[in-house]
Amino acid sequence: MPFNALAIPMMIASPGDVQAERDVVRSVIHEWNAANSISREVILIPVGWETHSAPDLGGRPQEIINERLLKDCDLLVGIFWTKLGTPTGKSVSGSAEEIERHLEAGKPAMVYFSSVPVAPQSLDAEQYDKLNQFKDWCKTKGLIENYDNLESFRQKFVAQLQIQLASNPYLSELISAPKSAAVESMSPALTDEAKTLLLAAAESNDGFIMQLRMMGGTIIQSNNQSFGGSSPKEQARWEKGLKILLSEGLIVPRGVKGEAFQVTDDGYELAEKLSNETVQEEEIPPLPA
C-alpha cells in the first residue's frame, strides 16, 4: 500500500444467499488494488458486517452496523438473488436499510440482482415478493444491473467499478484530492470543510479534532466549535473533509476508536499558509470606482 494512498472503504450489502458474489467482490477489489493502488495512490477496502463487526449490546443491531461500518464507507455494492433479508424495525431488511442510509448520505451505490435459475420449491414466496418490490423501488432511484451467472457478475462488476471510480462525482472529487505533500502547494485542493477543520484545530491549544458518533449522526468538534450540520448530507461533507485531512497526512489518528485526531507538522505549516493567504486577501484595497 502506498504511504499516502487514499483509502476508499466499500460496503458489501446483501442477504446470505449470495456468498459467492460477495467473494467475487472482494477478489475484484484485491485485483484492482494490486494493479492500481500504487500508480493511482488509491486503495479500496472491502467492508462487511461478517468481517468488520464484533459482538456489541449497545443498541439496535442494524444501527450499530450503520454507525460503526456503513457511515465511513464511500461506495456501496448491493447484491440480491432470491430474498431480501430480515426486517430491522426501521426497514424491510438490513441490506435495504444500508442502501437507504447510504443514498441519504449522498454517496453512490451499485446494486445488482441475480437472475440465476432457482428451484421453485426452495423459494420463500413472501421474501421473493418483498425482493421484487424492493427492486422496483431501486429502479426509481437510478440504474440497477442484472446478471445471469457468476462469471457475468464478475465481468460486469470489474467494468462498472472502473466506471464508478472514474466518473461518479462523489468519488471523482474524493480521488482528485491531492495525496502527497499538500504543504508544497499554496492552494491545495482541500474542501472548504477540510480547511475550516484544519484552521480550527491549528488555532486550538491541543491541535485536536474529535469525531463523536451519536444516534442522531456525527458531530465533529475542535477548538470549542462543533461542525457537522443537521442533515446526513451536510454531515457527510464534514466527514469527507476530515478524511481528506487524514489522507493528506495533515492530521493523524490518536484514539483507538477513530474518534480523535491531532494536527501534524505539515498540518500546522499548511494552516499557517492558509491563514496568511486569508489575511492578504483581506488587506487588498478595493478598486477605485
Q: Are residues 159 and 211 in the same domain?
A: no
- Tell me the average pLDDT of the chain: 85
Q: Are residues 164 and 227 in the same domain?
A: no
Q: Are residues 10 and 148 in the same domain?
A: yes
Q: Are residues 146 and 199 in the same domain?
A: no
Length of the chain: 289
Question: Is the residue at 288 inside a domain?
Answer: no
For the record, the C-alpha cell of 222 comes out as 475542535
What CATH number does residue 115 fall under?
Answer: 3.40.50.10140
Q: Are residues 171 and 253 in the same domain?
A: no
What CATH number does residue 207 fall under?
Answer: 1.10.10
For the record, the C-alpha cell of 250 comes out as 495533515
Inter-CA distances, 34 with 44, 49, 79, 165, 186, Å: 10, 24, 24, 16, 33
Question: Is the residue at 1 inside a domain?
Answer: no
Q: Which of 125, 150, 176 is the last residue of a domain?
A: 176
Domains: count for the chain: 2
Q: Are residues 170 and 222 in the same domain?
A: no
Q: Are residues 58 and 146 in the same domain?
A: yes
**For the segment 217-263, what is each residue's pLDDT rounded down to a tens digit?**
778 999 999 987 678 888 888 988 998 898 888 998 876 666 889 99
Q: Which of 150, 176, 202 is the last residue of a domain?
A: 176
Instruction: State how far the Cα of 227 lies from the Cα of 235, in Å rounded to an integer.
Output: 8
- Residue 31 domain boundaries: 6-176
Which pLDDT does position 215 carry in this prediction?
A: 65
**For the segment 87-117, what is each residue's pLDDT rounded down to a tens digit?**
999 999 999 999 999 999 999 999 999 999 9
Which pLDDT does position 289 carry in this prediction?
A: 46
Strand order in the sheet with 251-253: 225-227, 217-222, 208-214, 260-263, 251-253
**For the segment 61-88, what is each residue's pLDDT rounded down to a tens digit?**
888 888 878 988 999 999 999 999 999 9
Question: Is the residue at 135 inside a domain?
Answer: yes
Instruction: State how far the Cα of 102 lies from the Cα of 73, in Å rounded to an integer.
Output: 8
Q: Are residues 160 and 194 in the same domain?
A: no
Instruction: State how far the Cα of 68 lies from the Cα of 98, in Å rounded to an integer.
Output: 12
Q: Are residues 86 and 186 in the same domain?
A: no
Q: Which of 176, 203, 218 is the last residue of a domain?
A: 176
β-strand 208-214 against 217-222: which pairing, if any? antiparallel
DSSP class per residue in 156-168:
HHHHHHHHHHHH-
Model pTM? 0.61
**For the segment 27-49, what is each residue's pLDDT rounded down to a tens digit?**
999 999 989 888 888 889 999 87
Q: Are residues 69 and 112 in the same domain?
A: yes
Q: Are residues 165 and 207 in the same domain?
A: no
| pLDDT band (50, 70, 90) for residue 265 | confident
Say if residue 283's pLDDT is above 60.
Answer: no
Question: Is the residue at 289 inside a domain?
Answer: no
Q: Are residues 18 and 129 in the same domain?
A: yes
In this structure, are residues 235 and 105 in contact, taking their beta carbons and an 8 Å threshold?
yes
Share of the chain above pLDDT 70, in %: 86
Share of the chain above pLDDT 90, in %: 51
Question: Is the residue at 40 inside a domain?
Answer: yes
